[in-house]
Amino acid sequence: MFKILLINGLIIGGIYALIALGYSLIYRASGLMTFAQGDMITLGAYLGLTFFRIMHLPFFISFLLTFICAFLVGVLLERGVIRALLDKNVIPIYIVLATIAVSYIIQNSMQAVFGTTTLRFPQVFGVSTLTIFGITAQTEAYACLLISLALMLMLHLFMTKTIFGIAMHGAAMDPMAAESCGINSSLTTGITWGLAAAIASIAGMLLGPMYGVYSTLGSVIGRKGFAGAVIGGYGHIYGAMIGGIILGLIETFVAGYWTGTYKNLIAYAVLILFLFIKPTGIFNEQAIHDV
């Protein structure tokens, strides 16, 4: 029982980690909150489905294409909506509301295009279940865990080893100082949003085979992902990853050992607990853009 819960916790934790990562990335780069991440997941799932099932492209190609398309959507969102609102100097709540509006648009346009029935992802791998360390689970579930860990590792390497990643980090810490060093902070902000969206879309493509694809696939997980970001310290990249995994584990273990009925409530309870007791999270991340 414990081992099954552990694996499931890690799997869903990996997903939460990816979402939380997006939130922290965006907060670090722009100082803003976004409610559209959850629907980037849904978008990713639908895009992946389109490429994989409808256009019959190989899985890996669909993966890359989804990543790229979602990246473009993220950049578009930042340039088109967020930048326009920031230039008008509106109060921050309008930007949050704008991301909510975008979330509605994505959700409902997916619904309009694809309908309301849950679509099935065709089987990705040859074998349907794998048994590792004596735990049997869907192959897609293991792939999900592997890919999310790999993605986090790649992001870490990107942010620390590549020039561009370091530039992004710098621009996020202090845009003015970065600009005076010759870093185009407007470009890096756009890329950060794109990256966050792309990461979320990958999460969606991983969730799709496990849960099926429907228009509200990402919204609940997207909201719960906030808890993961807050646990690790909102704005702390690695904190988000760890916070997400911790959230997944807590959720699965509480649901497994105590009660399954309030499973969804657990994430929000953890969120509110952390907000009231330790809003800076595990890694003591001071909010960069304070009101």
Partner 1 sequence: MESIKKQNKLPTIVGLAILLCVMPFLVKIVVGNQYPLLIMCIILIYIMAVTGLDILFGYSGQISLGHAAFFTVGAYTTGLLNIYFGLPLYLTIPAGAILSALLGALLAYPASKLKFHFLSLATVAFGEITYYFLYTSPGGFTRDYKGINVVGISFLGEDYLRWYFFLLAFVVLILIGKISLINSRVGRAFLAIRENTHAADGMGINVRKHKIIAFTVSAFLTGLAGALYVHLIKYISPETSMQKQSVLFLTMLLFGGTASILGTILGVASIEVLMECIRPLQEYQMLLYGILLLVVIVALPGGLNGGIKNLVSNRRRKKAMKELEIAAQAEAEARKDGDE
Q: Which of 97, 99, 93 is CA-nearest to residue 77? A: 99
CB of 264 to partner 1, least distance (A): 5
Cα–Cα distance list, 242 to 21, 150, 186 (Å)? 9, 14, 28
Binders of partner 1 in range 140-169 (CB under 8 A): none
Residues paired with 138 in a beta bridge: 129
The only residue of 8, 107, 189, 252 in contact with partner 1, by rule CB under 8 A: 107
Cβ–Cβ < 8 Å for 30, 192: yes
Shortest Å distance, C-beta 74 to partner 1: 16
- Closest approach, Cβ 262 to partner 1, in A, equals 6
Nearer to partner 1, 59 or 283 (CB): 283
Q: Which of 260, 281, 261 is nearest to 270 (CA)?
A: 281
Listed residue (16, 11, 13) closest to 223, CA to CA: 16
Q: Are strands 135-138 and 129-132 parallel, antiparallel or unpaired?
A: antiparallel
Does residue 268 bind partner 1 (CB under 8 A)? yes
| Residue 164, number of CB atoms within 10 A of its CB | 13
Which residues inside 197-256 make contact with partner 1, applying CB under 8 A?
223, 226-227, 230, 234
Give the footprint of partner 1 on this chain (CB under 8 A).
27, 33, 81, 84-85, 88, 90, 92-94, 96-98, 100-105, 107-109, 111-112, 223, 226-227, 230, 234, 261-262, 264-265, 268-269, 271-272, 275-276, 279, 287, 290-291
